[in-house]
Amino acid sequence: MDDSLTGDSGSAPASRIGVVISTLGRAASLQHLLEDLAAQTRPPAIVIVCDQSTFADGSAAGELSVEAVCGRFAAVLPLERVTSQRGLSRGRNAGVAALAGRADYVFFPNDTSRVASDFFARFTPDENAQIVAGHYRDDAGVRRDFPAETVPVSKGNVWRVMEAAMLVRVDAVLAAGGFDEHLGSGADSPWQSGEGTDLLLRMSASGARVHFDPDLEVRGVRETDGLDGAARRRKLRAYGRGYGHILREWDFGARRAWAAVLGGLTLGVRQPGRFSVGDGLVVGLGRAEGVMNRLLGDARRTTAVDR
């Protein structure tokens, strides 16, 4: 019997890992991620792809479909394709519902994420934690650095957890009510980010703990990768708006909220390898909109992306 699935001889069975991927139709990058999952030395128990491509705008002629990509991997992965209406939170909730009872932990990569073949083999649950958080790295480096530790989830550390690089107990996600479908990319509200932070903060109210594991790493792309100027500004502003909304809704305090607005405005100076000066201005504007709970100026299109 394969010890990678059952644990060492005489030990308790290893935790079953499920994967939920929500996509608006980036089939080519999804295929690369599924290749990575199929190559895992410790295979996932179930992979759920939530296909929202019907609701995406601007598909390229002749582009490979999500359904076709999923079909290619049906023989090498325990993969199921489900559908939902548009919205990252809706897609993730649909995926969690589909894998409930078949996995102990759920991993939420973006459809542009990549993982090494030993990613799941490196994953070690902490019996004192509901969340295991790894590093998320893009071409500008690690997004949030941290030491190895297990601590209660709090307002002070919740921003260190990157959704695309965390594994969470399925029962804890369900007990917390899943992702708020009015938050996150594609949601029917102006608050186009913060859904993962909101979920973790709700879990923290029940005493949830997080284990930070710097040996786990997910590779990805910057949020503005491949976007032209207008689309880039729109997405950064929308994401900033969601960040500010979380600061207000979870009562981080006026000082913390307005410091975040100032921090956004100066991103281009503080992180020149990742953001331009113009990027910082729109991030700061979006954060201010979230903190004030109102849209300013020309905010006519509030969703972060079309596809």
Give the model's pLDDT for residue 297: 81
The average confidence (pLDDT) of the chain is 91
Give the model's pLDDT for residue 8: 47
Give the model's pLDDT for residue 54: 83
pLDDT above 70 for 23: yes
For the beta carbon of residue 245, count every other beta carbon within 10 angstroms.
26
Question: 82-119: per-residue pLDDT in tens?
Answer: 999 999 999 999 999 999 999 999 999 999 999 999 99
pLDDT above 90 for 12: no
Give the model's pLDDT for residue 214: 96
For residues 164 and 136, is the Cβ–Cβ distance under 8 A? yes
pLDDT category of residue 71 using cuts at 50, 70 and 90: very high
pLDDT category of residue 5 using cuts at 50, 70 and 90: very low
* Alpha carbon 99 to chain centroid, angstroms: 17
Give the model's pLDDT for residue 61: 44
Give the model's pLDDT for residue 227: 87
**Domains of the chain with bracketed CATH:** 3-219 (3.90.550.10), 229-292 (no CATH)
Give the rounded percent of residues in the chain with a pLDDT score beyond 70: 91
pLDDT above 70 for 264: yes
| C-alpha span between 203 and 8 (Å, rounded) | 32
pLDDT above 50 for 3: no
3-class secondary-structure state, position 46: strand
For residues 37 and 70, is the Cβ–Cβ distance under 8 A? no
pLDDT category of residue 11 using cuts at 50, 70 and 90: low
pLDDT category of residue 224 using cuts at 50, 70 and 90: confident
Q: Tell me the average pLDDT across 258-263.
A: 97
DSSP string for residues in 271-305: -TTT--HHHHHHHHHHHHHHHHTS--TT----SS-
Q: Tell me the average pLDDT across 134-140.
A: 94
